[in-house]
Structure 1
Amino acid sequence: MGRSPEAKTGPPAQTSPMRTTLCDLLGIEVPIISAPFGPFDSVGLAAAVCEAGGLGSLGTAIRPLPDLREQWRRLRERTARPFAINHTTRPFDEEVFAASLRARPSVISFHLGDPGDLVKRAHDAGCAWVQQVMDVDQARQALDRGADVLIAQGTEAGGHSGFIGTLALVPQVVDVAGAVPVVAAGGIADGRGLAAALALGAQGVAMGTRFLATTEMAISPEWKQLLVEAGSRDAVHEDLLDVLLPPYNRPRHPAQGRLLRTPFLREWADRRDELPERIGEIGREVVAAVLTGRGHEYLPFAGQSVGLIGDVRPAAQVVRDVVSEAETILSALGRDRAPRPAAGAPVPSR
C-alpha cells in the first residue's frame, strides 16, 4: 500500500493512548472514522473530523462528477490530513471511481458488495482500501481481494445496515482478519462504544448517526432535531429505500436501509404496488430533495444509536468526548481487574 504524495499529514492533532494499529496504518491520531453519508455534502464534517485526528469521509452516490470534484477541492483546502472517498456497488460509477483515484486520497472505502479488482487499482494509485462487511463470508472475500482495513457493520447501523448485531459480528470478523485491522460500526455513539469495540478486538470505530447530529454536517436543522428526539425503536429497516433511489434496476442486496419513518414513507408503505409505474416521477422527486437539503422529508437515515444522542455538538467535541470517555472506562476496568494483595500482605510502595 502506498501513500498519496498529495495527502500530506500535518502536525499531530493530539497524542493519545487510544492510538492503535489502525491509526498507524491510515496516518490518523485517534481510531475514529466518520461515515461517508452517500450523496450528502459532508465536507465541513469530514474536515472537522480530520483536524480532530480521525478519518473524515466523503460519499459519491448520486452526485454528478463536477460536484464531487468541487467537494474534494474544498476538503483539501480545509485539511492536509488523510481522508477517505467512498464508493458503493449501488450505484457504482466507473467515471467517478477513476476520477477519485486521480484525486489520490489516502483512503478509498467501499460498501455493499465485492470490490473485485478495484482494490488493486486503488493500491496502484497509492490509496489504502477500507472495506465494509456484514458477515464473515464478506470479510473473507474482502481479505482475498487485498483490503487493508475491514469495517464490521452490524444491523444497528443507519443507512444500509447488516443483519448481524455488532456485538456478535465484530469478534467473528476479528477472528478471520488476522493482522488486518477491524473497525466496529453500528450502534456506536460514545466512548462506551469505542471501549467495547476495543475489548472485542477491533482497532477503532466508524460512526454515522452521531456525526449527523453535529454542527458541521450540512443537513437541515430539522433532521438533526429528529435525531435528538428519536429513540432507538424509531430507527427502522425499510426496503422502500432501495426502490426510491437510483439506479432503479439495481440488484437487491440483503442489507436493508435503516431510517426514521416519515409521512412520505408511511404513505407509500401502503401503496407499494403503485411504485413501479411511478418510480420515474417519485424517484426524481426524492433525488431532487436529497440534493437540495430536504432529504429528511423523505429518507432521514438514522441508526439505533439515536437513543444515545441528546444534542447537536461540534464534530471535534464528539471526537474528544468519545476518546476521553473510552480512556476513562478502560483505565477504570484495568484498575478493577488488577490483582489485589492477599489479606495481611504488604502493599507495594509506589
Structure 2
Amino acid sequence: MLRTELCRLLDIDIPIIQAPIVPGACPELVAAVSNAGAIGSLGAAFRSAKDLTNDIRRVRQLTPRPFIVNHVVPLVDEAAFAASLEARPTAISLALGHQPGLIKRVQEAGLRVLHQVHTVTQARQVAESEVDVIIAQGSEAGGNCGMVASSVLIPQVVDAVSPIPVVAAGGVADGRGLAAALVLGAVGANIGTRFLACEEACVDPAWKQRILGAQSEDAVQLTFWQELFGAPGAEAFDVVPRALRTPFSDEWLARDVGGDAERLRVEIVKAVRSGRIHELAPFTGQATGLINSVSPARDVIDAILTQAEDVLRRASQLIT
C-alpha cells in the first residue's frame, strides 16, 4: 500500500484528492472516490447554502468516508461557507485567492485546511496562516491555472513551505504522474480531468467523449477571460482558465473582445448555471491526452495506485 503524510492527515488509504471540478464534482462522484479509499471534494462555487447543505447530506448518505468541501475565495458565499463549517466535513479547501480570515475560521471550527496555489510567492503567503496542506497547481491543469509547469513548481513549493506537506496538481492522470509527484517531494496528487471522465461525474456525456478524443494541445488557455471578468482583486490569484477548444473559444482567442464583454459575461454565467458550460468552455487539463476511457472512479483509482507502485519499485532498482 502506498501511504504518505496526506493519508494520515485526512484518514484516507490512498494519497489522491479528487479536485472540486464544477459541475462534475457532484455527490455521486465525491462518494465514489472516497469509498475507493482516496478522498472526494465537493465544490461549493455557484451553490446556495441550501443546495450545498443538501449535497453534503447526499454525500453522507452515500459514504461514511472522509470528504472535502471546496470554496473559491473570490466567490465565497457567506451563507454557504457558514453552512459548510457547520456540516463539519473532514476538511475545507480554498482556491484562487488568499483570505486569512477564512482560513482562521476553518481552523477555529477544528477542521483541516487545504489551500491551492500557483506560484511560490502565493505558497509562502498561505504558509504564514499555518494551513495543513498546500496544493501546488501547475499550468497543465484544467479550469483556472497559473503559468508555471508542475515539474518546476512542485519542488520549489516543497522547499519554500517545509514542513507543510504539499500536494501536486496539474497534469496527473495515471500512476506515472502520481509517482512523479511523489518523487518531486509531494505527498499526493490532486486530480481533476481524469475524474471528469468517470461514470459518476455529473457532466454532459459529450464533454466526457471530447476528453477521450482530445490531444493535450487541444486544451488551451482562454487568454481573453480577463477581458471579460476583469483583473483579479487584492484577494484573488492571477489565473487563466484552460479548456478544450470550441468554436466559442476559437473565435474569441482570435479577436478583440471589445464592446462584446458584457454580452459574453452574461452568456457564460447563464451557461454555468444551466449546466451548459461545456458548450462554450469545457474546462479540461492537458492530461486529456492520457485518458482513453470513461470508467468507474474506483477502477481509475485502483489503476493509478497499481501503476504508481510499479513505477516506484522499478525506479528503486536503478540505484546500485
Opposite residue 170 of structure 1, the aligned amino acid is I
- Tell me the matched-pair count: 317
**Counterpart in the other structure of 1:217:** 201
8 A Cα contact 2:175 2:305, kept in partner: yes
Establish whether residue 318 from structure 1 lines up as the match of residue 300 from structure 2: yes
**Counterpart in the other structure of 1:298:** 280
8 A Cα contact 1:39 1:62, kept in partner: no
Please state whether the residue corresponding to 1:90 is helix, strand or coil.
Answer: helix
**Counterpart in the other structure of 1:177:** 161
Provide Cα deviations, 1:45-75, integer angstroms capped at 9, x if missing partner: 1111100111100111122222212111111
Provide Cα deviations, 1:167-187, integer angstroms capped at 9, x if missing partner: 001111111222211101111
**Counterpart in the other structure of 1:288:** 270
Please state whether the residue corresponding to 2:307 is helix, strand or coil.
Answer: helix
Provide Cα deviations, 1:148-175, integer angstroms capped at 9, x if missing partner: 0010100111101111110001111111
8 A Cα contact 1:39 1:60, kept in partner: no
Opposite residue 274 of structure 1, the aligned amino acid is G
* Shift in alpha-carbon separation, 1:250–1:96, aligned structure 2, 3 A: farther
Establish whether residue 231 from structure 1 lines up as the match of residue 215 from structure 2: yes
**Counterpart in the other structure of 2:97:** 113
Please state whether the residue corresponding to 1:222 is helix, strand or coil.
Answer: helix
8 A Cα contact 2:120 2:160, kept in partner: yes
Percent same amino acid at aligned positions? 46
CA distance in 2, matches of 1:127, 1:250: 28
CA distance in 1, matches of 2:62, 2:196: 19
CA distance in 2, matches of 1:182, 1:67: 31
CA distance in 2, matches of 1:241, 1:98: 30
8 A Cα contact 1:153 1:185, kept in partner: yes
Opposite residue 67 of structure 1, the aligned amino acid is D
Establish whether residue 272 from structure 1 lines up as the match of residue 272 from structure 2: no
- Equivalences for residues 1-350 of structure 1 within 5 A: 16=1, 18-242=2-226, 251=233, 253-269=237-253, 270=255, 272-276=257-261, 278-279=262-263, 282-337=264-319, 339=320
8 A Cα contact 2:219 2:244, kept in partner: yes
CA distance in 2, matches of 1:41, 1:29: 20
Report how far residue 144 of structure 1 moved. 0.5
Please state whether the residue corresponding to 2:100 is helix, strand or coil.
Answer: coil
Provide Cα deviations, 1:60-117, integer angstroms capped at 9, x if missing partner: 1122222212111111111111111111123122221111111111110011111312
Report how far residue 266 of structure 1 moved. 2.7
Please state whether the residue corresponding to 1:29 is helix, strand or coil.
Answer: coil
TM-score, with length taken from structure 1: 0.86
CA distance in 2, matches of 1:92, 1:58: 14
CA distance in 2, matches of 1:47, 1:53: 10
The runs of at least 4 aligned residues of structure 1 exceeding 4 Å deviation read 242-245
CA distance in 1, matches of 2:267, 2:95: 25
8 A Cα contact 2:50 2:80, kept in partner: no
Report how far residue 262 of structure 1 moved. 1.1
Report how far residue 120 of structure 1 moved. 1.7
Instruction: Report the more deviating stretch, 326-335 or 213-222.
Output: 326-335
8 A Cα contact 1:39 1:61, kept in partner: no
CA distance in 1, matches of 2:68, 2:26: 12
Larger radius of gyration: 1
Report how far residue 267 of structure 1 moved. 3.4
* Shift in alpha-carbon separation, 1:299–1:172, aligned structure 2, 3 A: same
8 A Cα contact 2:232 2:238, kept in partner: no
8 A Cα contact 1:156 1:305, kept in partner: yes
Please state whether the residue corresponding to 2:14 is helix, strand or coil.
Answer: coil
**Counterpart in the other structure of 1:342:** none
What are the ranges of 5 or more consecutive residues in structure 1 without an aligned counterpart? 1-15, 340-350
